[in-house]
Amino acid sequence: MPNTKYIFVTGGVTSSLGKGIISASLAKLLQARGFKTTIQKFDPYINVDPGTLNPYEHGECYVTEDGAETDLDLGHYERFLNVATSQANNVTTGRIYQSVIEKERRGEFLGKTVQVVPHITNEIKERMQLLGQTGEYDVVITEIGGTVGDIESLPYIEAVRQLRWELGEHNGLVIHLTLIPFLSAAGELKTKPTQHSVKTLMQSGINADVLVCRTEHDLSEELRDKLALFCNVKREAVIQSIDAPSIYDVPILMREERLDEVVLGKLALPKDQKLNLSQWSSFLHRLKNPKSNIKIGLIGKYVELQDSYKSILEAFIHAGVQNEVEVIVDSIHSEYIDATTIEKKIAHLDGVLVAPGFGSRGVEGKIDAIRYARENNIPFLGICLGMQMAVIEFARNVLGLKEANSIEMDDQTPHPVISLMEEQKAVIDKGGTMRLGAWKCSIFEGTIASNVYKTSEIMERHRHRYEFNDVYKKQLNDAGMIASGLNPDTDLVEIIEISNHPWFVGVQYHPEYKSTVVNPHPLFVAFVAACKKHSLNKNV
Ligand code: GLN
């Protein structure tokens, strides 16, 4: 049995405190000391995965190499650690129950009454240890979604209590993330909500080992003493997590608070390994010192909620750093784009990105934006639905197929330039049935794509049901929209581009999922470079 150490991260007081970022930052510090670390997220909702959730509910749905539709925190884990995650890294209550019920149907419980304790909690505990048991990791960090005290969280908290006891001293610990609100009228930081949430945790039999306190203002020494005394944690285990200019500052702030040392001490792991954060610090330095800025329009229909396009926004940050520019993202709601507003909304931009999406709401605005970018030589990147809309726009306005459409939007269109694959036609279930995960793509030489990737074969992650319709390939190609990347096994078109345009690329896959601090995605890097060039040309 490998001697993997387990860290559990719970949240108190409110949601959205950034457990994912704290977990990823701690993992980064442990990784920087040479410990092999992974992070997993347990979500207390009943959906089997977030794939069926509207982005307004839960932000972006992140997709892993193995095709799991997961919580967006897995994106942070990958971006921070540069290590791929998988289906095993994200578990929901729905999945736990599904698996327990399937076992019950197979008679695996031998006539016993199946109950939350022990059957659901056992299933949770098993899954909490799955990655640890591979022997690949020294430390597994498990983030428990939701807030302590929620009815939904109870089985998870109970599983953590049991597991910590079973693992024994120095093998498991609990970090509780809370909020220390600032009452401006009183000019004071308040510890009471934290005391209450720690007590709630205690009622479930868990004493937090480390308290990470989100705050807008520095915690005084007295306040830290008070928190330690009332919350039953060691003084050095009261960690301040002050609001940071960017999520990429958090590992450095956690280092300054010695979170890594406190954790290593409690897990009886050696503290003498050299901590190598030089690459991270250099990224941060470049992030804070851009030489210029560019403005890119992000056109989508979920723009009110920034979390809907999390990976795209982060990929822009990585690519901006690589290009020494600050990418200012102008989020533009596609429903509000039409002939009367287009000039005002798009003309000043250095680049246009049309986002992924589902359904017909707002697609005509996306098509108008693409037309504007194409006709006015503004760099363009279309992702998934954005690529499909670029094909439709070209078919309508260059080939003259006025009614060209995707059959997702109009199943009666006479020109289905985006259509449904044969194997998708019989699919009724919505969850987990799209083309998901990493697929190969071969790139033709002499194209923008081959210039970007500098290799002839790539693997990129997918999440879509509809595909480029091959019937129109030649016609589009002859008019200047070429297919520069194909799936080598099925010939499905994965990349399209326009030859007589400074930079116009559409991809059926999602490059944003693979961009990390260490490996900014080449497509985003090249797109931002093209936008930077556009901006310079504009200003001469
Ligand atoms: N709705 C489109 C499809 O299913 C695009 C999906 C996406 O943008 N992720 O093919």
| Three-class secondary structure of residue 218 per DSSP | coil
Q: Ligand 1 atom closest to Cα of 355?
A: 8
Distance 471 CA to ligand 1 centre (A): 20
pLDDT value of position 2 = 55
Measure 299 CA to ligand 1 centroid, in angstroms. 15
Based on the residue annotation, tell me whether 512 is a catalytic residue of this protein: yes
Cβ atoms < 10 Å from Cβ of 233: 20
Residue type at position 34:
G
Whose C-alpha lies nearest to ligand 1, atom 1? 358
Write out the two tokens for 100.
């327990």
Strand partners, 453: none
Distance 431 CA to ligand 1 centre (A): 14
Cut 0.75: pTM above it? yes
Rounded Cα–Cα distance for residues 40 and 38 (Å): 7
Using alpha carbons, list the distances in angstroms from residue 404 to 239, 325, 390, 392.
58, 38, 11, 6
What is the arithmetic mean of pLDDT over 26-51?
A: 94
User: Measured at the alpha carbon of residue 5, what is the angle toward residues 66 and 249, in degrees to the nearest 5?
Assistant: 70
Query: Measured between alpha carbons, how far is 355 from 299 in angstroms, rounded to an integer?
Result: 6
**Choice between 303 and 60, residue whose per-residue pLDDT is larger:** 60
Q: How confident is the model at residue 1 (pLDDT cuts 50, 70, 90)?
A: very low
What's the mean per-residue pLDDT of the chain? 94
- Do 153 and 159 contact (CB within 8 A), yes or no? no
- Taking only the tens place, the pLDDT of each residue in 386-415 is 999 999 999 999 999 999 999 999 999 999
Query: Both tokens of residue 237?
Result: 């285990």
Q: Measuring CA to CA, which residue among 250, 364, 237, 220 is closest to residue 299?
A: 364
pLDDT at 87 over 90: yes
| pLDDT value, residue 498 | 97
pLDDT at 15: 85
Task: Choose one of 408, 435, 439 to mutate for the ligand 1 pocket test, by most ligand atoms within 8 angstroms of C-beta.
Answer: 408
User: pLDDT tens, 209-260?
Assistant: 999 999 999 999 999 999 999 999 999 999 999 999 999 999 999 999 999 9
The pLDDT assigned to 538 comes to: 80
pLDDT at 302: 87
- The pick from 465, 467, 493 for probing ligand 1's pocket by mutation, whose C-beta has the most ligand atoms within 8 angstroms, reads 465
Q: Please state, in angstroms and rounded to a whole number, the distance separating the CA atoms of residues 353 and 369.
A: 9
Consecutive H or E run containing 32: helix 19-32
**In the block, which residue shows the tokens 């116009």?**
504
Query: How much distance in Å is there from the Cα of 364 to the middle of ligand 1?
Result: 15
Amino acid at 412: Q
Is 272 or 417 the better-scoring residue by pLDDT?
417
Q: What span, in angstroms and rounded, lies between the C-alpha atoms of 352 and 10?
A: 39
Q: 338 vs 479, which has greater pLDDT?
A: 479
* Closest CA to ligand 1's atom 3: 464
Tokens of 474: 């030649």
pLDDT tens digits along 425-483? 777 777 778 889 999 999 999 999 999 999 999 999 999 999 999 999 999 999 999 99
Residues 182-215: tens digit of each pLDDT = 999 999 999 999 999 999 999 999 999 999 999 9
Lookup: tokens for 194: 């934290």
Res 534 pLDDT > 80? yes
Going by their DSSP bridges, the two strands 493-498 and 504-507 should be labelled as antiparallel
Place of tokens 């923008």: 448
Compute the distance between CA of residue 330 and CA of residue 314 in angstroms, rounded to an integer: 14
| Extended strands (E) in 254-336 | 292-300, 325-333
Catalytic option among 213, 231, 384, 441: 384
β 325-333/292-300 pair status:
parallel
Kindly state the tokens that stand for 391. 């094909």
Atom of ligand 1 nearest to the CA of 418: 10
Cα separations in angstroms, 200 against 23, 78, 161, 175, 182 = 21, 32, 13, 14, 22
Q: What is the DSSP letter of 258?
A: T
Q: How confident is the model at residue 338 (pLDDT cuts 50, 70, 90)?
A: confident
Q: How far is the CA of 91 from the centre of ligand 1 (A)?
A: 24
16-32 pLDDT per residue, tens = 899 999 999 999 999 99
Q: Cβ < 6 Å from ligand 1: which residues? A: 356-358, 384-385, 408, 463-466
* Strand runs labelled E in 102-171: 139-144
Residue 384 is among the residues annotated as catalytic for this protein: yes
The best mutation among 363, 405, 466 to test binding of ligand 1, ranked by most ligand atoms within 8 Å of the C-beta, falls on 466
CA distance 32 to 30: 5
Query: Across the strands, what pairs with 381?
Result: 353, 505
Query: 444 C-alpha vs ligand 1 centroid, how far in Å?
Result: 24
pLDDT tens sequence across 130-182: 999 999 999 999 999 999 999 999 999 999 999 999 999 999 999 999 999 99
User: Which phi-psi region, left, alpha or beta, contains residue 257 (left: φ > 0; alpha: ψ -120 to 50)?
Assistant: alpha
Q: Quick one: pLDDT band at residue 421, thresholds 50, 70, 90?
A: confident
Q: What pLDDT does residue 306 have?
A: 82
Does residue 12 surpass a pLDDT of 80? Answer: yes
CB-based burial, 502-528: b 16+ in 10 Å, e otherwise: ebbbbbbbbbbbbbbbeebbbbbbbbb
How confident is the model at residue 503, as a pLDDT?
Answer: 98
Q: Which of 231, 512, 531, 534 is catalytic?
A: 512
The edge-to-edge listing of strands for the beta sheet with 405-406 is 405-406, 416-420, 466-468
Residue with the smallest CA separation from ligand 1 atom 5 is 385
The pLDDT assigned to 354 comes to 97
Helices H / strands E in the chain, number of each: 19, 23
**Ordered strands of the 504-507 beta sheet:** 325-333, 292-300, 351-354, 380-383, 504-507, 493-498, 481-486, 435-443, 457-464
Which has the closest alpha carbon to 3: 175, 170, 124, 122?
A: 170
